Amino acid sequence: MKRILVTGGAGFLGSHLCEKLLNENNEILCVDNFYTGSRKNIHHLLDSKNFELLRHDITHPLFVEVDQIYNLACPASPVHYQFDPVQTTKTSVLGAINMLGLAKRLKIPILQASTSEVYGDPEVHPQPESYRGNVNTIGPRACYDEGKRCAETLFFDYYRQHDLDIKIIRIFNTYGPNMNPEDGRVVSNFIMQALRGEDITIYGDGKQTRSFCYVSDLIDGMVKMMNSESGFTGPVNIGNPTEFTMLELAEQIIELTGSKSQLVFKELPEDDPMQRKPIITIAQDKLSWMPKVGLNEGLMHAIQYFKKNIE
């Protein structure tokens, strides 16, 4: 049995990770400041004797004894990370420094949940891990994009300078139960608008693309990365390589919900990427990982979850 620290453990991804690790007979220390995380996501875990919840902001040092660290803490939707951009950068950078310091003291492996946003609005498509990105350092998304890029830098500096066992994954668009219905991300937006019978908001012409990974697939890849051989650092793309336009996603959600919603088009936000699709060859070769859940099946699970939020 390992004692595992999950920062951001009450968030969308963190809550699923905590549940999976708990089911694998580990002790879990879930740390969250509840800026975007929700107690509702982990309520069903609180009665377990192997689950501990600690309210804490990782921009401040944390002194605990654990065997592994998954660092997921950071608001991940534009609505939330742009609300307090300075704090977003602090969470990525100071949070990384504090968690790396803890891992260094304990001599334990640490995984960083990075993001496909490090690629910015990519000029290379699809995106391999070797692509260095096209990020606007002074734009409204930079607090998140550059914060995550700096965290990757810190992880590799600790690896080179202190021989720390680091793991980095770059997460592409992920969806499923426990998403915040009002977080402004495209899947939750479209589903909530469709269920409410509201117009579905398409930014730009709707031809920009994303690749959508169901949450159980993403968490499986994350755990495989943590448990991969020592010295394999990544970064590794974890995402579904099947690409969809925003129009295709909206039409599929309308069909699955039976909604009468109409599409309305609005101006594309600044620095919104036109294309996003991972190359997952490294994940396939090194982790024996591939996504299993198709978009239609995953959307049905997500729709059922969001229906309960409306009820």
Q: Is the dihedral of CA 214, 220, 226, 232 positive or negative?
A: negative
Report the distance separating Cα 89 and Cα 152, nearest Å: 13
Report the distance separating Cα 106 and Cα 263, nearest Å: 53
In a 13 Å sphere around the CA of 287, the CA atoms on its Cβ side amount to 30
| Residue 161 neighbours by CB under 8 Å, 6+ apart | none
Residues forming beta bridges with residue 2, ordered by sequence position: none
DSSP letter assigned to residue 268: P
Q: Which of 144, 159, 175, 214 is catalytic?
A: 144
Is 144 annotated as catalytic? yes
Report the distance separating Cα 30 and Cα 79, nearest Å: 24
Report the distance separating Cα 179 and Cα 187, nearest Å: 9
Report the distance separating Cα 305 and Cα 251, nearest Å: 19
Residues forming beta bridges with residue 169, ordered by sequence position: 113, 236
CB 77, CB 56: distance < 8 Å? no
In a 13 Å sphere around the CA of 212, the CA atoms on its Cβ side amount to 23
Report the distance separating Cα 15 and Cα 9, nearest Å: 5
CB 90, CB 75: distance < 8 Å? no
Tokens 């990974």, residue located = 213
Residues forming beta bridges with residue 278, ordered by sequence position: 127
CB 54, CB 30: distance < 8 Å? yes
User: Can you read off the two tokens belonging to residue 18?
Assistant: 């905590």
Catalytic residues: 144
